[in-house]
Structure 1
Amino acid sequence: MDREIQSRILAMQKNEITEYHIYTRLAKMLEKTENGPILRTIGEEEKKHHDFLSKFTGKSARPKGFKVVFFVLIARILGITFALKLMERGEEEAQEIYDAMSRQVPEAKQIIEDEDAHEEKLLQMLKEERLEYVGSIVLGLNDALVELTGALAGLSFALQNTRLIAVAGLITGIAASFSMAASEYLSNRTEGNSEGAVKSAVYTGIAYILTVGLLILPYLLFSHYMVCLAATLGIAIFIIFFFNYYVAVAKDLKFWPRFTEMALLSLGVAAISFGIGVLVRSTIGIDI
């Protein structure tokens, strides 16, 4: 086996033992849940990968400490499914190394493919509450983005007073968040999902109110209404980007079509509402 491939295999060994430590740390965190044994089993698969590769390098690799800490932290903040799916997305290079290795060690590719297929099945078995209610989060987030960006755009030109706009937007947003939560609760009850109705309503309401708070924040920090509006639209795009990236990674969905659709919808409504604000101000003659 030539030195270049051996060097790349050693790098893969380090990656496999690092992932073993990540899975093991997460398994300890969740040992009292049904996800704990699943994560421990996946970790053992990664350890097997490392041990298999050590036959060709004659060495044992040390884990990347920073990577272990980083992914454990991500799992605590954004959930284990997102953290692990994000980690598994960096496996393209590993496949290239195994392909190169299989030219000299034919059985290597099949062994790794079998074990990776097993890992994928185990990952699909993970259960996480926030992903089970992602539909409710989308409802609250999307409604807040579409309705409030539109309302703030219209109010910005109609009132041109940042404090008044913030107050009007906050009252509108809080009232709408309770309304959306109640609607989600009743919708779930009507569909026979009595057990999950309360949680669905809570996730919808929290997603809505958090989005409202972020969108209104510029109107409390800056004095010029156009600067505030630009900042609000920027925050809206960031929220859309972050949330769609999160869902795309965690649920193996395509990112760009979802992001584009949501961004165009929110910005389109904002543009129409801004035009209505211009029309209202010029027609009614508001002067604040």
Structure 2
Amino acid sequence: MISTSSHDLHLARTLVLDELFDLSLYRQLKAMTGDCDVQDTLDKLVAVEEEHLRFWQDFFGLHTDRLDIGRRLKLRLLIFVCRLFGTGAIHLILEAIEVHGVRKYLTLWQAYKKEPLGEALRGILTDEFKHEDVMVTTLTERKISAEQIRNIFLGLNDGVVEILGAVSGFFGAFGNPTTVLIAACTTAVAGAFSMAAGAFLALNSEKEVKSTDLAKKIFLGEEPEQAIMEESPVVSGAVVGTAYIIGATVPVLPVLFGATNAVLSVATAGIMVVVVSTLLSFLSGMNVTRRILLNLVILTVAVGVSYSIGLLAQRFWGISV
């Protein structure tokens, strides 16, 4: 056991409560799923998390079996989402939890690798890489396409930010809601096609490169490292384009229902950005607060610059409707 005075008490509580949260989540997910593969994986994860929780409790001398209010709310939300969307949501949440865990422990290990805590973290990370991460990856690879899920949220985010910027600029230049609506819708459709084409071409090119590399290895009698990607460029492009157009409707809807300026568009887009940023950060293992603030700053800059350009266009080039 190490005294918590040797380390930040907040860090000690975080490590203990995070393991308790993961353990509580896995136990509840196991109780609610009927998928045998998922249950088998969760059985193994529960055993590992029980060991990790005991380790950190003994390491810091900090024994608790009760989550704080924030983690309890988060646990209830995740369980509600899993009940609502079923096994697919469980797969996504398992993957996201593991990504968060690996990144958190790697960051801490870099900071404390020359101290006793660093050695403890090395053992936990070994478990993560050899057991937990492998189990979850094996399960989710068979069931879901995490890339497609991320494509959805990235498309939504791009559609919201880009079209809100366009709406703001058009209001600055034209002022007339009808003209703004027509221009914004045209821009949204063009943007959706552009995003879809970009996703299609990128994945198609990558698939061709991997196919050529695979053929070369087969010719040389070498063992291929991996099979050709199963993800379809057409499907990927369609997902990104559709998500983009859905995101683009968020700042356009207030104008459609009679808004005479960009204020309501900014408000609805801001809410959408917070929701999308939270979901995307959770799925990709990023810091949620940082991601939200970054996207809100980008949104603010996009609105300010676009609106200013619209005003300048109206003033210097006499654009009016």
Verify same fold: TM over 0.5. yes
CA displacement, residues 225-276 of structure 1 (integer Å, 9 cap, x when unaligned) = 2xxx122222332233222222333333223333333322232122111111
Number of the residue aligned with 1:157: 172
Unaligned runs of 5+ in 2: 1-16, 53-72, 102-119, 208-228
Q: Is contact 1:144-1:173 (8 Å) kept?
A: yes
Relative to the length of structure 1, the TM-score reads 0.63
Q: Secondary structure at the match of 2:231?
A: helix
Q: Secondary structure at the match of 1:79?
A: helix
The correspondence for 1:42, drawn from 42, 45, 55, is 45
Q: Give the Cα separation in 1 of the matches to 2:313 and 2:158.
A: 24
Q: Give the Cα separation in 2 of the matches to 1:143 and 1:206.
A: 12
Q: Give the Cα separation in 1 of the matches to 2:124 and 2:263.
A: 50
Number of the residue aligned with 1:23: 29
Unaligned runs of 5+ in 1: 1-11, 50-65, 90-109
For the pair 1:177 / 2:184, whether they are aligned, the reply is no
Letter in 2 for 1:74: V
User: 5 Å matches for 1:67-146?
Assistant: 71-75=78-82, 76-77=84-85, 79-80=89-90, 81-82=92-93, 85=97, 121-122=131-132, 125-126=136-137, 127=140, 129=144, 131-133=146-148, 136-137=151-152, 139-146=154-161
Cα distance, 1:182 vs structure 2: 1.6
Number of the residue aligned with 1:215: 251
Cα distance, 1:130 vs structure 2: 5.2
Q: Give the Cα separation in 2 of the matches to 1:36 and 1:233.
A: 44
CA displacement, residues 26-80 of structure 1 (integer Å, 9 cap, x when unaligned) = 5x35x16x5453134435778999xxxxxxxxxxxxxxxx998754331244922
Aligned length: 245
Relative to the length of structure 2, the TM-score reads 0.58
Number of the residue aligned with 1:276: 309
Q: Is contact 1:181-1:205 (8 Å) kept?
A: yes
Letter in 2 for 1:199: V
Q: Give the Cα separation in 2 of the matches to 1:240 and 1:265.
A: 10
Q: Give the Cα separation in 2 of the matches to 1:197 and 1:45.
A: 38
Q: Give the Cα separation in 2 of the matches to 1:260 and 1:68.
A: 24
Number of the residue aligned with 2:285: 252
Higher alpha-carbon deviation: 114-123 or 127-136: 114-123
Letter in 1 for 2:252: I
Q: Secondary structure at the match of 1:195?
A: coil
Letter in 1 for 2:81: I
Letter in 1 for 2:97: K
Q: Give the Cα separation in 1 of the matches to 2:155 and 2:74.
A: 33
Q: Give the Cα separation in 1 of the matches to 2:259 and 2:267.
A: 17
Q: Give the Cα separation in 2 of the matches to 1:264 and 1:22.
A: 37
